[in-house]
Amino acid sequence: MEILLVVIIGFLHAGGLYMLLRRSMFKMIIGLILLGNGANLLIFLLGRLVKGNPPVIEDGLKVFTDIYADPVPQALVLTAIVIGFGLQSFAIILIKRVYNVLNTDDLDELNSTDEEI
């Protein structure tokens, strides 16, 4: 399971970076989304995977007797997903506005703030 997750995270990061380096604005946003998802999965993986042992203390016991799934990374990932969702929706609206105003999808043409010296 870990190996599978590692491969998926690797692909998400590689794909995200590749898309970031493309010239199209829309592909750049997709790249950022892929990177965000890769980061979320990474936190989930680094919190150690435990199968079939929810962090619930059984009846009659006061402490955990066995190794249990850590709930903290899940909480972190949940928070990060929500925040990421907000930011990504803002970014998508922004590129839509940029596309409407500047009428181009090519990042190389968005240089009016840099070039004039």
Partner 1 sequence: MIVLPIIFQFIAGTILLFFWRKINLQKVLSILFSVIGLGISIWLFLQVWEKGIMVTQSGDWKAPFGISIVADTFGVTMVLLSSISGLAVSIFSTGSMRKERLAFGFFPIFHFLIMGLQGAFLTGDIFNLYVWFEVVIISSFVLLTLGGKKQQLEGALKYVSLNLLASSLFLIGIGFIYGLTGSLNMADVAIKLDGLQNRGLVSVTSGIFLVAFGIKSAIFPMYFWLPASYHTPPPAVSAIFAGLLTKLGIYAMLRTFTLMFGGDEFMGDIMVVLAALTILSGGLGAILQQNMGKVFGYLIICHIGFLIAGLGIYTELAIMGTIFYLIHDIIVKTNLFMVSGLILKINGTQDIKELGGMYKNFPLLSLLMAIPLFSLVGIPPLSGFWAKIFLIQAGLETKDFFLIGFIVLGSFLTLWVIARLWGEVFWKNSVGLPKKANGLYFGQMPLIDQWLMVFPIFLLAAISLYIGFSAENIILLSQKISSELMDPTGYIEAVLGLKAITP
Rounded Cα distance between 30 and 17, Å, is 10
**Shorter beta-carbon distance to partner 1: residue 58 or 116:** 116
Residue 24 φ then ψ, to 5°: -80, 140
Output the six-digit token pair for 9.
């995270």
**By the rule CB under 8 A, 14 interacts with partner 1:** no
Rounded Cα distance between 3 and 13, Å, is 15
**Shorter beta-carbon distance to partner 1: residue 56 or 81:** 81
**Shorter beta-carbon distance to partner 1: residue 49 or 56:** 49
Rounded Cα distance between 50 and 77, Å, is 16
**By the rule CB under 8 A, 116 interacts with partner 1:** yes
Using the structure block, give the residue that is written with the tokens 């009428």.
103
**By the rule CB under 8 A, 90 interacts with partner 1:** yes
Binding site for partner 1 (CB under 8 A): 20, 25, 28-29, 32, 35-36, 38-40, 42-43, 45-48, 70, 72-73, 76, 79-80, 83-84, 86-88, 90-91, 94-95, 97-98, 101-102, 110, 112-114, 116-117
